[in-house]
A and B are shown apart, each in its own frame.
Chain A
Amino acid sequence: MNFSKSFRNTFLVILLSLIVSACATKTTTTKVEGQMQGDVYTGNDTVKYLADGVPDRVFFATNESILTTKSRDTLRKQANWLRENSSINVVVEGHADERGTREYNLALGERRANAAKDYLITYGISADRISVISYGKERPVDSGSNPLSWSKNRRSVTVKAN
């Protein structure tokens, strides 16, 4: 009885690990294809760097301004860098993808830029060193009309102002 139970458990474990590995394989495949998690861009082929290891931008889900774990990590790096370079001020640009009405996207870009700004403030950067500007959907980095292109365009970018 015990044996058969533990056998069954082992079987389940094997089965589960098979499913997990199947998932893992699948995730890897989507990653290669899409570089996206949900619809948030996770790649770095459009990312520029404020300094070595300090990415300049974070990415958002459709219609969202919530910072992902990766975004928060990036912004903490930016905050550290800004602390070390206290003479530098920045502009945080907020952007949206092309799949929304122009005026709403201007507001959404503003919201995204401020989400990034607020996080930098939380990590000790003075508010008067950070200004924001929303470009709505007016300044895409990727001109394709597909989910991956759109995910690269839903972003806020921290740019040196001086």
Chain B
Amino acid sequence: MIRIFNLFFIIFFLLSAKAYPLIEIDITRGNLDPLPIAVSPLFQDDSSKRNSINEIKIENVGSEISLVVENNLKISGLFNPLSKEAFLQKPDIAHLKPRFEDWALIKAQALITGKVTIEDKKLKVEFRLWDILAGREMMALAFTTVPSNWRRVGHIISDKVYERLTGEKGYFDTRIIYVSEEGPKTARVKKLAIMDQDGFNTKYLTLGNELVLTPRFNPTSQMVTYLSYFKNLPRVYLLDIETGTQEVVGDFPGMTFAPRFSPNGKKIIMSFAKDGNSDIYTMDLENRIVERITNHPSIDTSPSYSPDNRFITFNSDRSGFQQIYVMKSDGSNVKRISFGKGLYGTPVWSPRGDLIAFTKLHKGKFYIGVMRTDGSGERLLTENYYQEAPSWSPNGRVLIFYRETKSNDKGEGFSAKLWSIDLTGYNERQVQTETDASDPSWSSLLSN
């Protein structure tokens, strides 16, 4: 019970941090007390180890899975995985029945144990979550999959543990689609890339022959929408990442850009530029019907639906400068919601529905922030030389965005990297990518 109380305390503290302005968050960042957890290597017997080498060229996949779990829990900022060197009990014994005093001695409050077997080309995994102070099992689960899926097994275990201990869905069994960048600024080569949320299993989806920008996941399937300059005609495309098939979205006589799916995945909302003016349109992916949503001589772009489909937030300069607006999804009742100093862009509705994340430019600095959907409660999470384009984790707890560094007069020193930060303003981290990266979009949970 004390353990659970502690975790409640952490969550309470995270929520209460909302009240602090940016500067104080900066000062107090990292002062949290994450929950000490022991992730015991998942036990694997010798015959299974031999099969493991044959199947996936990894001897001790149980150990590897536990490292995936450990890393996930650590980067969430809510857990402090303890050093395995201090563990007193062997993995197989601990999995049967932990000696709680031993784990309490190294200050663990929770323990994950497990067992893996590989037989007949199948990976069988069982794991248990233990409450050390209460001396009882909290959760036990088993599943079977193909051996090559072993990293996903680690992510699913992480999600289950996260959910059991925080009461909220996790975000580890997810992927990030982004734009991989290489070469000098004046001749940048950009490719679509996809990777697991923890930076592994990177795959490139385009070759870099044409400029590609702003990929976004369909929240309900393995589809992606993005902007491609294929044949020098910038248009919104739809890509099925399982089959690799792609198609142009709609038949527009000019540039379409800033695409995003509706929450049910059935529509694409985007900007269409005609005679220099950008307005917001939708296309229904089932019946291909195109609807015009805004009709204004200003720039209207970066649209994003509310999770209930009833509203759209977007970026417009109809007031003279870039600001954030909200309207009903039929385009009526347009209301400006950003009124702070500076320019506002890239509004994205939280999957929880209560907040809108945005980019703000003020006095030469760029901020990632959140505000309530009526524009109140603006809170800036991070300040930097250049950063933009936040995308929410599926549980609405974390934002991923990209950050660029300043170059010198020769263009040296430039980089573009992905970063993530908790909604609380804590736990800011660089997300590792093989190349420079921008325009990240977070997928939904792959399994539920």
Name the B residues within 8 Å of A103 (CB-CB): 214, 257-258, 271, 301-302, 315, 345-346
Contact-residue bracket for chain A: 20 to 34
Smallest CB separation, B309 vs chain A (Å): 21
Of B185, B227, B258, B389, the contact of A140 (CB 8 Å cutoff): B185
Query: 8 Å CB contacts to A: which residues of B200-235?
Result: 211, 213-214, 227, 232, 234
Query: What number of A-B contacts does a CB cutoff of 8 Å give?
Result: 109
Q: Does A158 count as interface, using CB distance less than 8 angstroms?
A: no
Q: How far is the CA of A46 from the CA of B315 in the complex (A)?
A: 32
Given A102-B389, A134-B273, also A144-B409 (CB < 8 A):
yes
Q: Does A149 count as interface, using CB distance less than 8 angstroms?
A: yes
Smallest CB separation, B294 vs chain A (Å): 12
Given A110-B255, A143-B184, A146-B409, also A104-B315 (CB < 8 A):
yes
Name the B residues within 8 Å of A65 (CB-CB): 276
Query: 8 Å CB contacts to A: which residues of B164-219?
Result: 184-186, 188, 211, 213-214
Smallest CB separation, B401 vs chain A (Å): 11
Whether A113 and B276, one on each chain, are in contact in the complex, defined by CB atoms closer than 8 angstroms, is yes
Whether A114 and B185, one on each chain, are in contact in the complex, defined by CB atoms closer than 8 angstroms, is no
Q: How far is the CA of A101 from the CA of B186 in the complex (A)?
A: 18
Q: Does B299 count as interface, using CB distance less than 8 angstroms?
A: yes
Q: Does B414 count as interface, using CB distance less than 8 angstroms?
A: yes
Hey, what's the 0/1 contact readout for B342-367 against A, CB within 8 Å counting as 1? 00011000000000000101001000
Q: Does A73 count as interface, using CB distance less than 8 angstroms?
A: no
Query: 8 Å CB contacts to B: which residues of A112-146?
Result: 113-115, 117-118, 132-135, 138-146
Q: Does B388 count as interface, using CB distance less than 8 angstroms?
A: yes
Whether B389 and A101, one on each chain, are in contact in the complex, defined by CB atoms closer than 8 angstroms, is yes
Which residue of chain B is the closest to A103 with respect to CB atoms? B258
Smallest CB separation, B234 vs chain A (Å): 7
Smallest CB separation, A148 vs chain B (Å): 9
Smallest CB separation, B134 vs chain A (Å): 49
Query: 8 Å CB contacts to A: which residues of B370-411?
Result: 386, 388-389, 404, 406-411
Whether B345 and A144, one on each chain, are in contact in the complex, defined by CB atoms closer than 8 angstroms, is no
Name the A residues within 8 Å of B345 (CB-CB): 100-101, 103-104
Name the A residues within 8 Å of B359 (CB-CB): 101
Hey, what's the 0/1 contact readout for B263-276 against A, CB within 8 Å counting as 1? 00000000101011
Q: Does A106 count as interface, using CB distance less than 8 angstroms?
A: yes
Which residue of chain B is the closest to A137 with respect to CB atoms? B185
Of B185, B186, B232, B277, the contact of A133 (CB 8 Å cutoff): B232
Q: How far is the CA of A113 from the CA of B234 in the complex (A)?
A: 14
Name the B residues within 8 Å of A99 (CB-CB): 361, 364, 386
Query: 8 Å CB contacts to A: which residues of B236-264?
Result: 255, 257-258
Name the B residues within 8 Å of A133 (CB-CB): 232, 234, 255
Q: Does A154 count as interface, using CB distance less than 8 angstroms?
A: no
Which residue of chain A is the closest to B276 with respect to CB atoms? A114
Which residue of chain A is the closest to B179 with respect to CB atoms? A102
Whether A102 and B409, one on each chain, are in contact in the complex, defined by CB atoms closer than 8 angstroms, is no
Given A101-B388, A101-B389, A103-B345, also A145-B302 (CB < 8 A):
no
Q: Does B322 count as interface, using CB distance less than 8 angstroms?
A: yes
Whether A106 and B257, one on each chain, are in contact in the complex, defined by CB atoms closer than 8 angstroms, is yes
Whether A145 and B414, one on each chain, are in contact in the complex, defined by CB atoms closer than 8 angstroms, is yes
Whether A110 and B278, one on each chain, are in contact in the complex, defined by CB atoms closer than 8 angstroms, is yes
Q: How far is the CA of A94 from the CA of B348 in the complex (A)?
A: 26
Name the B residues within 8 Å of A115 (CB-CB): 276
Which residue of chain A is the closest to B184 with respect to CB atoms? A143
Smallest CB separation, B284 vs chain A (Å): 22
Which residue of chain B is the closest to A101 with respect to CB atoms? B345
Q: How far is the CA of A142 from the CA of B407 in the complex (A)?
A: 11
Whether B185 and A143, one on each chain, are in contact in the complex, defined by CB atoms closer than 8 angstroms, is yes
Whether A104 and B302, one on each chain, are in contact in the complex, defined by CB atoms closer than 8 angstroms, is yes
Which residue of chain B is the closest to A111 with respect to CB atoms? B276
Q: How far is the CA of A146 from the CA of B411 in the complex (A)?
A: 10
Given A113-B276, A145-B414, also A138-B188 (CB < 8 A):
yes
Smallest CB separation, A94 vs chain B (Å): 8
Name the B residues within 8 Å of A140 (CB-CB): 185-186
Smallest CB separation, A92 vs chain B (Å): 10
> Would you list 17 pairs from A and B whose C-beta atoms are within 8 A, ordered by A residue?
A100-B322, A100-B361, A101-B345, A101-B361, A102-B389, A103-B315, A106-B257, A107-B257, A107-B271, A111-B277, A111-B278, A118-B276, A139-B186, A143-B184, A143-B186, A143-B410, A146-B409
Top 3 closest A-B pairs, CB basis? A143-B411, A114-B276, A101-B345
Name A residues whose Cβ lies closer than 8 Å to a Cβ of B: 63, 65, 98-104, 106-108, 110-111, 113-115, 117-118, 132-135, 138-146, 149
Name B residues whose Cβ lies closer than 8 Å to a Cβ of A: 184-186, 188, 211, 213-214, 227, 232, 234, 255, 257-258, 271, 273, 275-278, 299, 301-302, 315, 317, 321-322, 345-346, 359, 361, 364, 386, 388-389, 404, 406-411, 414, 438-439
